[in-house]
Amino acid sequence: MVHLLNKANLQYSQPTIIAKTGWTTDELELAISASELNEKYDLVSLLIGVNNQYRDLSTIDYQIEFERLLKKAIELAGGFTNRVIVISIPDWGVTPFAEERNRNKIANEIDNFNRINYKISEKHKVHYVEITQHSRKAAKDLSLIADDKLHPSAKMYQHWAEEVYLKILEK
Query: Could you write out the three-class secondary structure of the chain?
Result: CHHHHHHCCCCCCCCCCCCCCCCCHHHHHHHHHHHCCCCCCCCEEECCCHHHHHCCCCHHHHHHHHHHHHHHHHHHCCCCHHHEEEECCCCHHHCHHHCCCCHHHHHHHHHHHHHHHHHHHHHHCCEEECCHHHHHHHHCCHHHECCCCCCECHHHHHHHHHHHHHHHHHC
Q: Is this prediction's pTM over 0.85?
A: yes
Domain CATH number, residue 56:
3.40.50.1110
- Domain count along the chain: 1
Range of 137's domain? 2-170
Q: What is the pLDDT of residues 38-93, one digit of tens each?
A: 778 989 999 999 999 999 999 999 999 999 999 999 999 999 999 999 999 999 99
